[in-house]
Amino acid sequence: MANTISEQIAVDPAGDNQFVSRCLPQRMGNTANISYGGCTLGVGIEAACATLLCSVRKLRDTRTFATREVIVSQEAKDGTRRPCMSMLLDFQAREKASMFVFSAPPSRSYSPPEKCKSRTQIAQTLVEEKLVSEELAHLHNIMFGLMNRFFDSRLAPEGISAQNLSGLVSGPPTSHAHYSALGFMMDANLSFLPLTHNNLSLQDAAACSSLDFSMRIFTNDLDLTKWHMRELKCVVGQEGRTYSESRLWDEKGNMVANMSQQSIMRPKPGQKEPIRASL
């Protein structure tokens, strides 16, 4: 079991343009017995820059751009390989100058890190306030323990996730290594964000998992050892699918990355009408 994010996303050469992950992917943020998608995403990015098997194919190499296709597969018990993710990664050489420099701000002001609590701290507070049981809080800490192991992650009190702990509470009112780690982190929470915003948890859906994603990086000098602020938004839910976005800003207020993601959101049998939610 990996103790750091660097260990979790590490890969070793397994032949020409072939790489194998050093650690098995871990489970997080899903009631199904499947691994957290960010583990595979981080490994795929790591393989493109340099248990899961990654096949890398060179699609384009110019003076400015390089494109790589990564097929991530798993080895079954019978020895066959089953593809589980495909990725297309575009790299661009550092430009000599920028014609424009601008960045969309967060949609509102958020508390600084020193005034925010971790998931574990919030869960303990909710137990003390008798809003959730110790069993539920323990289950939540297990489900999201992988992120806590790798990152000092805190929830802004202004966001709904800090108020209902990603839907765990239904009652109260709601008011190169760095880039690989970025992919791991940006994937978190997006698939079940609509549940959180409607005071529901993963147990309330029959299926909830990411289908496709697109991550964009807006800086050549990403430093995840510094504090960053991440904002998540639901955009649309229709036809059993949802679309959400995640944006990341540095301490100076510059947006450094975003991720858009489509997810499956399948209701449990017996739900006759969809939940009419408002943004």
pLDDT in tens, the chain (279 residues): 677 777 777 878 777 778 787 777 777 666 666 677 677 777 777 766 555 678 899 999 999 999 999 998 877 778 888 888 888 989 988 888 777 777 888 888 999 999 999 988 988 988 888 888 888 888 777 777 777 777 888 989 988 888 887 777 765 445 467 887 888 888 888 888 888 888 888 888 888 888 888 999 999 888 888 999 999 998 988 888 889 999 999 999 999 999 999 998 888 888 877 777 665
* Structural domain contains residue 10: yes
* Structural domain contains residue 77: yes
The CATH number of whichever domain residue 46 belongs to comes to 3.10.129.10
Rounded Cα distance, 147 and 59, in Å: 33
* pLDDT, position 170: 62
Instruction: Identify the CA nearest to 143 among candidates 183, 201, 210, 187.
Output: 201
* Structural domain contains residue 11: yes
Distance of CA 160 to the CA centre of its chain: 17
* pLDDT, position 251: 94
* Structural domain contains residue 233: no
Which positions ≥6 away from 189 have C-beta within 8 Å? 29, 161, 166, 196, 232, 246
* pLDDT, position 240: 85
Number of domains, the chain: 1
* Structural domain contains residue 139: no
Which positions ≥6 away from 276 have C-beta within 8 Å? none
* pLDDT, position 256: 94
DSSP bridge pairs for 68: 58, 89
Instruction: Identify the CA nearest to 103 among candidates 190, 197, 231, 212.
Output: 231
* pLDDT, position 175: 47
Rounded Cα distance, 221 and 218, in Å: 9
* pLDDT, position 172: 47
Domain that holds residue 15: 1-94
* pLDDT, position 26: 76
Question: What H or E segment, with its residue span, contains residue 197?
Answer: helix 193-197
* Structural domain contains residue 38: yes
Render 6-30 in DSSP notation, one character per residue.
HHHT-EEEEETTEEEESS-----S-
* Structural domain contains residue 80: yes
* Structural domain contains residue 114: no
* pLDDT, position 272: 72
